[in-house]
Amino acid sequence: MDTDDLLSMTGIDKRFAGIPALSAASFSVRRGEVHALIGQNGAGKSTLIKVLTGYHRRDAGDVAFDGKPFEVSSPQQAQANGISTIYQEINLVPYRSITENICLGREKRKFGFLDWSAMHREAEGLLQRFNIRVDVRRPLMEFNTATQQMVAIARAIGFSAKLVIMDEPTSSLDEREVGVLFNVIRQLKQEGVSVVFVSHKLDELYAVCDRVTIMRDGKTIKTARMDEIEKIDLVSSMLGRNIERTEGHATAFSARDETKIGKVLLSAGNLAIGQIVQDVSFNIRSGEIAGFAGLLGAGRTETARLVFGIDRLRAGEMHYGGKVFDPKRPSDAIAAGMGFCTEDRKSEGIVPEMSVAENMMLALMPKLSKSGIIDEKAQREIVERFIKQLGIKCSGPDQKVRELSGGNQQKVLLGRWLAMNPRLLILDEPTRGIDVGAKGEIQSLIKSLADQGLAVLMISSELEEVIEGADRVFVLREGISVAEFDRAAATEDAVMGAMAHGNAPVIAEARP
Amino acid sequence: MTRSKLLSLLGSYGVVLALLLLILFGWLRYDYFLGFFNITSVLRYNSMFALVALGMCFVIMTGGIDLSVGSTAALGSVVAALFSPQGAWIGLGAGVGAGLCVGLVNATLVTRLKIMPFVATLATMLAASGTALLLADNQSVSVSYESGFTTLGQDNLLGFPIPAWIALAAYVVGWVVLNFTSTGRGVLAVGGNEDATRMMGLPADRIKFLVYLASGGLAGLAGVILAAQFGAGQPIEGVGWELFAIAAVVVGGTLLTGGVGSVGATLAGVLLLGILFNVLNFENGKGWISLSAYWQSVIRGLFLLIVVILQAKLSARSTAAVKEY
């Protein structure tokens, strides 16, 4: 063991129901170092972290922390011993106040009772490091995702940890907030705190990490200094093969055959629903991928919700297939041939305790049943076809969706809508929280779906995904559609410029 | 925002407002409604329900349920009556102890064996009821009048019934625990998001263990008061108490899914349902209409439904308002 090492894990084995999740994995972190941990879904990163924090018990291997053997059996013990974790899905209690979410587990006391004012002060102080000033007495659920994420981070830091593990902390943050987070990470580093940083955004790793460890199939593949390893090496080590990449191409989207794009399917004019969507116009043709670009809070998801009938329009109108379209509820949109893969897979998309087959069949159920009785055989066939077609990695149609990786959960959702034979598919952040390999697969899938004539409305916070993937890019800014670019005009500079500054609002015209 | 604040305020204090309106109604309509006799008898009778509802409130805040409280109270009353000849304190301790035993079984089933609270407490409800009938030999068990045991249920202290003082003390302790101890905050956290609570490193199982234990103990205490008040352990009493307790907790604004709740509002909920019963009795006494006990149940059920629907509407509106930010 290196004397500089704060943490050293060697020969870690972990099996779930006989299937190895980790085999002889190793991982070490130096004092005051920011260490990236990357790998595809199912590579074993989360399992490794959960073994370290005592959430799972390891089957074999040694862990040393701060010079001593480290044996904990619960996240609470890990926390008490100096390891704080921020999990991928925000794990907080929405009904409770920000203060409680930050201070639960290490409450301040006065005469044996909780000292609320001291705890409020502490919560405020911790959040001020992120330049966040909010009423910490309000329930957490009243705040947006970014603030909730910052609360989770503030909570972890508040434990005066020696090691802070951040599992994809930036997935719900916008650029400015990411900057703030990086400052905090650098600050922690100066104080001698080590940070383990799990992220799928490679640029972020280069911005803030010192070293990187790459995992694949439950094994540790490589540990390297960030400044000595190329992006392409990171990706190929993760995938375990040399992937072909055209120069300057960061996604799996490739050039599209323009003749596959047909007539306008959906056109929306001056949609509005209060502050968050004020004036949004756009149109989508069949066989076209239309991209929504914009910062967090630009109103992209909210616009999609209007199209899908989840929220009701206050103003503006839509035409779909040449007719006026005014969905009152999602079932109207589904009946019209639309599908919607939501951004928040966990709470709005999948039903974790149900099987792959059941999840896939949820939307199709009414069509597949005769007088209320479900046609099992037809269901089975469809499910198996999509598992094959989408390359869903599962033990079979009966596996619980909860047990799948994020990428495969997303594919199940895609399958749910594709089973309906939709004409328009809305994809909200289709590759968020999905590892690089599965991301490419989903991107190619989207393209081939469009080639088959499906109109796709794709919302993505990853600029390259919109620019390379979309045939046309609509930029939303503060609830207003400010610009429209076709494939040739959609350069990074142009789109970012529109996102940041906005142009005169464009009126989307129906093209032949 | 002011509108939504008003709505959420109404949501939290609606039960108190309803309680005050009901008292006002009774005071204006009936001559002896706010008379000393009526007040003390309402308090004396409802203190048992208040104790049971307090335990239920904590259990529900963790996202669980305790169906066994009614038969636990019956068991507590029988055990207390059997031990009352040994002295008032021994009777009290035995009754509470019996309740704690049932609570211990519930807590173990739910936290160690991971049995769903509904099922676990349904089983102990039947078992406790059976045990009470066995111990009492299928009849009520007279308490000892020499040992002073009946003081606990029948006498007054500073003008108010002793059971009411006991209930009040329990509520003060409950309020302090919920608001000023880490276990109390943990109760709400577990109910709000159990996974997150575990990830945060809080002892989720210990917290759940404690609430079932406390619920059992409080039900046992209610049983002691029952025996002391009526001079006998009552093995067949307590039927439907759990439903009354759940109703009071829900009327008090505690979410059945857990995570949100209030001790004070639960007390208001108990009083609201208790006084509603009292008002119906007064109305019968006026002779204008004559409502049987069955009709009173129907009316209480309707009332509960109205409250729950109103609550759902209020919370839907206030979250909608919040979402617009």
Render pLDDT for A22-72 as a digit per residue (tens, 0 to 9): 999 999 999 999 999 988 666 888 889 989 988 888 999 999 998 889 988
Say if residue A123's pLDDT is above 60: yes
A chain contacts of residue B202, beta-carbon cutoff 8 Å: 76, 104-105
Interface contacts A/B by beta carbons within 8 Å? 78
Q: What CATH number does residue A287 fall under?
A: 3.40.50.300
DSSP sequence for A452-471: TT-EEEEE-S-HHHHHHH-S
> Contact B193/A77, CB-based, under 8 Å?
no
Which residues pair with residue A482 across a beta bridge?
none
Q: Give, rounded to a whole angstrom, the gap between the first and last alpha carbons of chain A.
A: 68
Question: When comparing pLDDT for B229 and B298, which is higher?
Answer: B229
Identify the closest residue of chain A to B186 by CA–CA distance.
A104
B223 min Cα distance to partner chain A (Å): 31
Do the beta carbons of residue B88 and residue B147 sit within 8 Å? Answer: yes
| Residue B174: both structure tokens together | 């409950």
Of B181, B192, B197, the CB nearest to A113: B181
A489/A505 Cα distance (integer angstroms)? 17
Q: Is A356 on the interface with B (CB under 8 A)?
A: no
> Contact A91/B192, CB-based, under 8 Å?
no
Is residue A253 one of the residues assigned to a domain?
no
> Contact A75/B197, CB-based, under 8 Å?
no
Identify the closest residue of chain B to A114 by CA–CA distance.
B180
Do the beta carbons of residue A145 and residue A169 sit within 8 Å? Answer: no
Instruction: Out of A16-25, A119-128, A258-267, B176-185, pick the least confident.
Output: A16-25
Mention every residue, 6+ apart, whose C-beta is less than 8 A from residue A203: none
Q: In degrees rounded to 5, what are phi and psi of residue B252? A: -75, 5
DSSP sequence for A397-418: TTSBGGGS-HHHHHHHHHHHHH
Q: Order of strands, edge to edge, in the sheet holding A472-477?
A: A338-341, A424-428, A455-459, A289-293, A472-477, A480-486
What is the model's pLDDT at position A505?
42
Instruction: Out of A327-336, A407-416, A489-498, B236-245, pick the least confident.
Output: A489-498
A chain contacts of residue B198, beta-carbon cutoff 8 Å: 75
B174 min Cα distance to partner chain A (Å): 13
Of B179, B186, B199, the CB nearest to A75: B199
Instruction: Out of A139-143, A386-390, A415-419, B8-12, pick the least confident.
Output: B8-12
B chain contacts of residue A55, beta-carbon cutoff 8 Å: 199
B chain contacts of residue A105, beta-carbon cutoff 8 Å: 182, 200-202
- For residue B86, the tally of other CB atoms under 10 A from its CB is 14
Q: Which residue among A239, A273, A303 closes a domain? A: A239
B chain contacts of residue A77, beta-carbon cutoff 8 Å: 201
Say if residue B308's pLDDT is above 80: no
> Contact A87/B199, CB-based, under 8 Å?
yes
> Contact B200/A55, CB-based, under 8 Å?
no
Mutate to test the interface with A, among B12, B200, B260 (most CBs of A within 10 A): B200
Helix (H) or strand (E) holding A317: strand A315-320
Mean pLDDT of B272-283: 86
Does one domain contain both A312 and A219? Answer: no
> Contact B189/A274, CB-based, under 8 Å?
no
Of A77, A114, A274, the CB nearest to B180: A114
Q: In whole numbers, what is the pLDDT of chain B averaged over residues?
A: 86
Is residue A254 one of the residues assigned to a domain?
no
B199 min Cα distance to partner chain A (Å): 6
- For residue A238, the tally of other CB atoms under 10 A from its CB is 23
A457/A469 Cα distance (integer angstroms)? 11
What is the model's pLDDT at position A403?
82
Is residue A255 one of the residues assigned to a domain?
no
Of B176, B200, B324, the CB nearest to A104: B200
A chain contacts of residue B186, beta-carbon cutoff 8 Å: 104
Q: Identify the band that residue B285 occupies on the pLDDT scale cut at 50, 70 and 90.
A: confident
Q: In degrees rounded to 5, what are phi and psi of residue A509? A: -105, 145
Mention every residue, 6+ apart, whose C-beta is less than 8 A from residue B264: B171, B175, B252
Q: Identify the band that residue B221 occupies on the pLDDT scale cut at 50, 70 and 90.
A: very high
Residue type, B311: Q
Q: Identify the band that residue A94 occupies on the pLDDT scale cut at 50, 70 and 90.
A: confident
Of B196, B260, B325, the CB nearest to A91: B196
What is the model's pLDDT at position B73?
96
> Contact A80/B201, CB-based, under 8 Å?
yes
Mean pLDDT of A247-256: 67
Q: In whole numbers, what is the pLDDT of chain A averaged over residues?
A: 83
B169 min Cα distance to partner chain A (Å): 18
- In angstroms, what is the C-alpha Rg of chain A? 24
Is residue A251 one of the residues assigned to a domain?
no
Q: List the Cα angle A56/A58/A60 in 5-degree steps.
A: 175
Say if residue B12's pLDDT is above 70: no
Mean pLDDT of B176-199: 86
Mean pLDDT of B225-231: 92
Q: What is the largest CA-CA distance in chain A?
A: 76
Does one domain contain both A52 and A157? Answer: yes
Mean pLDDT of A198-203: 76
Is residue A248 one of the residues assigned to a domain?
no
Is residue A250 one of the residues assigned to a domain?
no
Does one domain contain both A279 and A218? Answer: no
- Secondary structure letter of residue B81 according to DSSP: H
Does one domain contain both A323 and A385? Answer: no
Identify the closest residue of chain B to A53 by CA–CA distance.
B199
Q: Identify the band that residue B55 occupies on the pLDDT scale cut at 50, 70 and 90.
A: very high
- In angstroms, what is the C-alpha Rg of chain B? 20
- Quote the distance between the C-alpha of residue A388 and its chain's center: 24
Q: Which residue among A207, A239, A271 closes a domain? A: A239
Give the range with max mean pLDDT: A120-124, A167-171, A356-360, B96-100: B96-100
> Contact A114/B182, CB-based, under 8 Å?
yes
Is residue A463 one of the residues assigned to a domain?
yes
Of A107, A116, A274, the CB nearest to B182: A107
Identify the closest residue of chain A to B203 by CA–CA distance.
A76
Q: What CATH number does residue B91 fall under?
A: 1.10.3470
Q: Give residue B239's domain range.
A: 2-323
Mean pLDDT of A115-130: 88
Q: Is A145 on the interface with B (CB under 8 A)?
A: no
What is the model's pLDDT at position A370?
67
Identify the closest residue of chain A to B193 by CA–CA distance.
A93
DSSP sequence for B278-296: HHHHHHHHHTSS---HHHH
The structural domain count of chain B equals 1
A21/A46 Cα distance (integer angstroms)? 10
Say if residue B213's pLDDT is above 90: yes
Report which of B257, B313, B248 is spatially closest to residue B277, judged by C-alpha positions.
Answer: B248
Strand-strand pairing, A163-167 and A83-86:
parallel
Mutate to test the interface with B, among A96, A145, A167, A276 (most CBs of B within 10 A): A96
Does one domain contain both A92 and A158? Answer: yes
What is the model's pLDDT at position A494?
82
Say if residue A10's pLDDT is above 50: yes
- For residue B135, the tally of other CB atoms under 10 A from its CB is 17
Say if residue A266's pLDDT is above 90: yes
A450 min Cα distance to partner chain B (Å): 34
Mean pLDDT of A297-307: 88
Q: Identify the band that residue B10 occupies on the pLDDT scale cut at 50, 70 and 90.
A: low
Helix (H) or strand (E) holding B106: helix B88-107
Helix (H) or strand (E) holding A153: helix A145-158
Tell me how long chain B is.
Answer: 325
Give the range with max mean pLDDT: A46-50, A255-259, B188-192, B217-221: B217-221
Which residues pair with residue A64 across a beta bridge?
A8, A69
Say if residue A235's pLDDT is above 70: no
**Percent residues over pLDDT 70 in chain B:** 90
B128/B121 Cα distance (integer angstroms)? 10
B chain contacts of residue A81, beta-carbon cutoff 8 Å: none
Does one domain contain both A403 and A292? Answer: no
B63/B194 Cα distance (integer angstroms)? 9
pLDDT in tens, A435-459: 777 788 888 889 988 998 999 999 9
Identify the closest residue of chain B to A89 by CA–CA distance.
B196
Identify the closest residue of chain B to A142 by CA–CA distance.
B322
Do the beta carbons of residue A145 and residue A175 sit within 8 Å? Answer: no
What is the model's pLDDT at position B181?
87
Tell me how long chain A is.
Answer: 512
What is the model's pLDDT at position A307?
94
Say if residue B320's pLDDT is above 50: no
Q: Give residue A435's domain range.
A: 261-337+422-512
Do the beta carbons of residue A490 and residue A467 sit within 8 Å? Answer: yes
Q: Identify the band that residue A3 occupies on the pLDDT scale cut at 50, 70 and 90.
A: low
- Secondary structure letter of residue B86 according to DSSP: G
Q: Which residue among A421, A445, A469 closes a domain? A: A421
Instruction: Out of A356-365, B122-131, B204-213, pick the least confident.
Output: A356-365
Does one domain contain both A475 and A416? Answer: no
A400 min Cα distance to partner chain B (Å): 18
Three state DSSP letters for A271-316: EECCCCCCEEEEEEECCCEEEEECCCCCCHHHHHHHHCCCCCCCEE
Q: Is A485 on the interface with B (CB under 8 A)?
A: no
Residue type, A20: P
> Contact B185/A107, CB-based, under 8 Å?
yes
Does one domain contain both A463 and A327? Answer: yes
Which residues pair with residue A282 across a beta bridge?
A268
Mutate to test the interface with B, among A74, A86, A104, A137 (most CBs of B within 10 A): A104
B chain contacts of residue A78, beta-carbon cutoff 8 Å: 201
- Residues of B at the A interface (Cβ-Cβ below 8 Å)? 176, 179-182, 185-186, 188-189, 191-193, 195-203, 255, 259-260, 319, 322, 324-325
DSSP sequence for A2-44: -TTEEEEEEEEEEEETTEEEEEEEEEEEETT-EEEEEE-TTSS
B21/B19 Cα distance (integer angstroms)? 5
What is the model's pLDDT at position A511?
41
> Contact A105/B200, CB-based, under 8 Å?
yes
Rounded to the nearest 10°, the torsion over CA B213, B214, B220, B225 is 180
Mean pLDDT of A161-165: 89
Strand-strand pairing, A315-320 and A264-272:
antiparallel
Burial environment of residue A191 by CB neighbours within 10 A (0 to 12, 13 to 18, 19 or more): exposed
Identify the closest residue of chain B to A106 by CA–CA distance.
B182
Give the range with max mean pLDDT: A13-17, A145-149, A247-251, A314-318: A314-318
> Contact B193/A92, CB-based, under 8 Å?
yes
The structural domain count of chain A equals 3
Do the beta carbons of residue A483 and residue A288 sit within 8 Å? Answer: no
A95 min Cα distance to partner chain B (Å): 6
Does one domain contain both A458 and A415? Answer: no
A351/A362 Cα distance (integer angstroms)? 9
pLDDT in tens, B71-126: 999 999 999 999 999 988 999 999 999 999 999 999 999 999 999 999 999 999 99
Q: Identify the band that residue A296 occupies on the pLDDT scale cut at 50, 70 and 90.
A: low
Three state DSSP letters for A184-243: HHHHHHHCCCEEEEECCCHHHHHHHCCEEEEEECCEEEEEEEHHHCCHHHHHHHHHCCCC
